[in-house]
Amino acid sequence: MKQLKTNLFLFEIYTGFFPLLTALAAAHTMSPNEYLIWGIPSEELAIPAGAVITEAVLTIHDIVPAKARIYVHLLDNPTEGVQRDTGSGSGDIFAGYGVSVTGAFSNKGKWVCRLSQNNNKKSTIWTIFPNPYKVKLADGSTVSLSSSLLELTDYIGNGSGFGFGLNFKDICTFTQITLDVTAKTYLGDYQVQTFSFRISDLYSYNESSGKWEYSAEAEPADWEQNDEPSLPVTIKSVQVAAGNGVGQDSLTVSGSFAAAPNLLQVPSIETSVVSLTDGAEIYTEECGYKWDKTKNQFVWTRKIAKNQPGGITSLKFDFAKCTFAMTLSKTNLTGLSCPIRFEWDFGDTVYYGEADESIVNGKQRIPIRLMRNYRDEVRISKAAAKHGKTAGTDQVSITGEIAVADVAGTDLTALPVSITWGAQTFTIPEGSFTKAAKGNVYSCLNVPAAEGGLVSCKIDLDKCIFSVILKNAVLDLVPGTAADANLQIGRAAD
């Protein structure tokens, strides 16, 4: 990274400031516009061949106030160690350095940044890797890597070190900063393993020099089997249903786990449902629970009152059978797509698991209606073509599902719609559709396509379905071969 032109020092003590990030859980104060730079040598995180980084979590613990403003950047080539100084101005002192990342405050007094959820579609990393960049792991699952995870991998791989810059814009206190990097194998036996860093483990205070100094004896980044705080679960079943309206979706998930630490002092369980396609946290909720001492279960149940927002209606972790199950009812799951990551945060212990299309909804795909008002997507359900008896009487019929990112802003009466069959495109000119009296339903009947033939089409943007019939066309049909079909709003289909 570009070197910051400022005089930095390693946490020198001065009046009113505690020795920062000791092993003790003392509160440490940062004043407005102060910033930290935490530099870690690349050799402390040597990922073996056959493994890939699938998550990196930066956590500020016991942070007060809960809504403190913090600018955070993933940095390339920072000076090894912990540095602290004060910037000027109201903006981000790290603007133009490394990669800006965001986090969120949890109800447990933590600020948490997950690099898997920081995915910049405009990142220059996508000039090197295809977007999305997916890796099939050794257990058969597939993970989609965010731009920030790929940039972290690049920073580590160039051997010049990596780290984080944290620019505090409000006065705040905290007790610790940690980094947990998860790697999974895509070759050989499947393993889930972590590198864990705590600033207080990496650096010790030197009373003679009055500075924080790196301690090589700590060896915090050993490549070892992942235990607490992150424990994998096996997702056995996921069912997702899209409701007719916003806030009427539902989800059930169940599975098993192998480890069961003592969690009896945990006050609540925080659940997160993350869509790994773009790293979006679709749903989160914190639940209390009843501890069934006889059955050794954590159980949460509730009924949703009429006309009230939905949420988790049942959650059970059975530590005797090592199984779990959860039901979400009448919630807004817009944007949820496969693969899905589930997390249950028990404080210092997080259970997590991922599910792709091979698990979610069995043989049925996750409902496309969850993409309504989120992103454009088309799925072809059935497509068929046949030659007519005379020239110019060929016919194509296509049915499928369609979602658009902005239903209210999509007026098909003023847009062209293109249908493709193999290498051929047939365009319904703009102005051909009429809109139904109710809802976002558009149709046209026997409209001449720009490339020949007559098209009848119905597109229901509320139910997210469409049907097309093209007749009296000339098709480049080859007997015994199939052709790709597609539908595109607004421009020629690819």
Mean pLDDT of the chain: 82
Query: Is pLDDT above 50 for 223?
Result: no
**Choice between 91 and 356, residue whose per-residue pLDDT is larger:** 356
Q: What is the pLDDT of residue 479?
A: 60
Tokens of 46: 């040597």
**Confidence bin at 10 (pLDDT 50/70/90):** very low
pLDDT band at 481 (very low <50, low <70, confident <90, very high): low
In single-letter form, the type of residue at position 454 comes to L
Q: Average pLDDT for residues 421-438, to the nearest whole number?
A: 93
- Tens of pLDDT along 318-366? 888 889 999 999 999 999 999 999 999 887 678 889 999 999 999 899 9
Can you give the pTM of this predicted structure? Answer: 0.55
Query: Cβ distance 284 to 271 under 8 Å?
Result: yes
> What percent of the chain stands above pLDDT 70?
84
Q: Residue 256 pLDDT more than 70?
A: yes
Mean pLDDT across 152-177: 86
User: How far apart (Å, rounded) are the C-alpha atoms in residues 424 and 152?
Assistant: 43
Cis preceding-peptide flag for 229 (omega within 30 of 0): yes
Domains and CATH numbers, the chain: 28-226 (no CATH), 231-367 (2.60.40), 372-489 (no CATH)
Distances (CA, A) of 238 to 273, 318, 481: 12, 18, 36
Residue 263: per-residue pLDDT: 66
